[in-house]
Amino acid sequence: MRGAAPLLPAILVLLLTALPQAQEPAPLTLLSREGRRVIPSTMSGGREFVALDDIVSLFQVTVREEALTGGLTVAHQGRSIIVSTSQPLASVNGRAVALSAPAMRTGNRWSVPIDFLSSGLSLIYDQRIEVRRAARLVVVGDLRVPRVTARIDAVGPPARATIEISPATRASITTETGRLVIRLDADALDPTFPGDGTGLIEQIRLGDQPGTIAVVLADGAGQGRAVAADVGGITRINIDVAPDVPPPDTALLRTAPAGVPPLPPTRTRSPISTIVIDPGHGGDDVGARGRSGTEEKTLTLAVAQRVKALIEMRLGIRVILTRTADRRVSLSERAAVANNNKADLFLSLHLNAAPTAASTGAEVLGLRLDQQAADVRRVAGGEMTLPVFGGVTRSVDVIRWDLAQVRHTDASTAFARILEDQLRARVTMSARPRRAIPLRLLTSVNMPAALIEMAYLTNPGQERTVRSDTFQADIAQAILGAVQQFRSYLEERSAP
C-alpha cells in the first residue's frame, strides 16, 4: 500500500490529460466542391455540438440573438430558421423541427447540436447537407461519397475478402507489388474497414490517393485477383488471394496419387487463372435420383466443393462455383457466371440415368455443333469495326451469346480427351466414355468446356459408390490432373 503512494500523482496526471480527449471527438471534415474544411466539435451531456461561429464562416449564414423570444435566428439568402435555446427545437417557416438538444451557450459563444446541420440548416440552405457521424464527414452538395464496407471472409489460403460500395460506383482495379489498389469514381469515401487480418490479406484501408482503397497483402501471398460486379444497386468486389507457393502437405494432398506431381512454384502468367465448376441441377430441379433416394443435385455440389478446394490449394487457381447452395440456377445463369468472370475453363458435373439399371461408368461430354453453328464457326474470328468518340474506330470481337462455344471446340475436345484419360485411371468408364451431343449449357460458354457424367445413379451399385468419400476424392483428383495436363497443353500450344 505504501509502495503505491508515489504512483498516485502520475495516475492523476493521466486522468486529467485523458479527460479533455474524451470530451473532444475527432474533428469533422466538411466536404464540398470548394474542398475540405475542418469543423471542430465538442461533447456536452453526451451530445456533439458545433459552434455557430464556425457555421457562420463555413456556410455564409448570419446569426442574430432574439432577446424577446429567447432564440437564435440563423439566416441564409433571405430564408431563416429560429433555434430555441430552451427546447430541443427549431422553427423553419412556422414548421417545428426536432433537434437532439437546445442551443447551448458557453461563455459568449453559442453552439448547436450537430444534427442542426442536416435537420435544420439544410432546409434553408441551397445545397444538400448530409452528416455522416461515423465517418466524421459533413457532405455539402451533390458530391459522390459512397459508403464502402469491407470484410475479410476467409483468412485462407486462399484468402477472400468482399468490398461493397453503396451506391454502385465505377471501380478500376490495379495490381501492385504486395497490394491491390481499387480506384473508385468518387469524390471521397465513407469507409468501414475490418481490423488487420491474420492471413494472406494483411489490411484493407484507404489508399494513398483520394477515392482509393488499398488491399495490402501479406508476405507469402501470390497475386491477388479482384472482380467487381454491380448487384442490386451496389458494387461488390470479390477478392481472392492465393498463396505464392503451394502450402505444405494437407489431408487432401495425402490423397493425391503418385501420378499427379505437385507443380513447382511459378510466377509466370498461367493460361488458366480462373475455372468455373458447375454443380448440375439444384433446388426443385433434383436431377437424376437413385433407388435409395440419392439425389444428383446433392452429390454434384459435394464433388464441386471438393474439386474447388483441391484445385485452389494445389494449383492456386481461382475456382468459382455456379452455385454454393441447394438452389435452382438456370442454364443461362450458369453460363453467365463463367462468361462474366472471364473464366479460362468450364466444367459441369452431373450424374447419369438410363432406362435400365445395368448402365454404368463415367462419361465425358462435349458440344456437338449443328449445321448453323458450323457455319458460324467458319466465319468466326473476324472483328467488327465500330465508330467511337473522337472520330476514330475500334475493333471489337462480336460473339453470339448462344454460340459462344463455337470458337473453342478444338480446345474443348482436347480437354475432354484429357479428362477421359484422367478419369479412366481412377474410376469405371462407360462403354461410350466420350461423346459429343447438343448440350444446351455448353453452347453459351465462351471458353473451353466439358461436362462429366460421373456415374449412373440408376445403377444401384454405382449409387452406393458415388456416395463414398473414396469415389468423390478420385473424381476430384482426376479433374485436378486434367486441369494440370490441360494447362500444359495450352502452354505448349501458345509457345512460339
Partner 1 sequence: MTRRRLVIGTTAVLALALIGWAVSREPPELASTASGPAASTTQPPPPPEGVPLINVTLFYGSADGETLVPVQREIALAEGLMAQGREILLAQLQPAPSPHLPVIPEGTALLAFYVTDRGDAFVDLSAEVSSNHQGGSSAELLTVYAVVNAVTANLPTVRRVQILINGQEADTLAGHVDLRNPLGRDQTIVSPS
Which positions touch partner 1 (CB under 8 A)?
A: 280-281, 285-289, 296, 331, 350-356, 358-359, 363, 365, 370-372, 402, 431-432, 437-441, 443, 451, 453, 456-458
d(C-alpha 39, C-alpha 57), whole Å: 10
Q: Are 457 and 296 in contact (CB under 8 A)?
A: yes
Query: Whose Cβ is closer to partner 1: residue 217's or residue 419's?
Result: 419
Query: Whose Cβ is closer to partner 1: residue 160's or residue 323's?
Result: 323
Query: Whose Cβ is closer to partner 1: residue 102's or residue 280's?
Result: 280
Q: How far is the CB of 404 from partner 1 (least distance, A)?
A: 13
Q: How far is the CB of 418 from partner 1 (least distance, A)?
A: 20
Query: Whose Cβ is closer to partner 1: residue 234's or residue 353's?
Result: 353
d(C-alpha 39, C-alpha 51), whole Å: 9
Q: Are 358 and 459 in contact (CB under 8 A)?
A: yes
b/e per residue 190-227 (b: at least 16 CB within 10 A): bbebeeebebbbbbbbebeeebbbbbbbbeebbbbbbb
Query: Whose Cβ is closer to partner 1: residue 230's or residue 402's?
Result: 402
Query: Whose Cβ is closer to partner 1: residue 255's or residue 359's?
Result: 359
d(C-alpha 305, C-alpha 323), whole Å: 10
Give me Rg for the CA atoms of the chain: 32
Q: How far is the CB of 440 from partner 1 (least distance, A)?
A: 4
For residue 457, give the C-alpha cell: 445413379
- Give the torsion sign (CA, 320, 326, 330, 331): positive
Query: Whose Cβ is closer to partner 1: residue 456's or residue 471's?
Result: 456
d(C-alpha 64, C-alpha 74), whole Å: 7
d(C-alpha 451, C-alpha 443), whole Å: 12
Query: Whose Cβ is closer to partner 1: residue 102's or residue 287's?
Result: 287
Q: How far is the CB of 296 from partner 1 (least distance, A)?
A: 6
Q: How far is the CB of 356 from partner 1 (least distance, A)?
A: 3
Query: Whose Cβ is closer to partner 1: residue 281's or residue 308's?
Result: 281
- Amino acid identity, position 154: A
Q: How far is the CB of 314 from partner 1 (least distance, A)?
A: 29
Q: How far is the CB of 454 from partner 1 (least distance, A)?
A: 11
Q: Are 129 and 203 in contact (CB under 8 A)?
A: no
Query: Whose Cβ is closer to partner 1: residue 235's or residue 360's?
Result: 360
For 111, the 3-state DSSP assignment is strand
Q: How far is the CB of 430 from partner 1 (least distance, A)?
A: 8
Q: How far is the CB of 352 from partner 1 (least distance, A)?
A: 4
Q: How far is the CB of 281 from partner 1 (least distance, A)?
A: 6
For residue 263, give the C-alpha cell: 507443380
d(C-alpha 45, C-alpha 432), whole Å: 80
What is the CB neighbour count within 10 angstroms for residue 375? Answer: 13
Find all residues with CB under 8 Å of 431, minimum gap 6, and list them: 361
> Parallel, antiparallel, or unpaired for β 449-456 and 429-437?
unpaired
Find all residues with CB under 8 Å of 381, minimum gap 6, and list them: 407
d(C-alpha 74, C-alpha 65), whole Å: 9
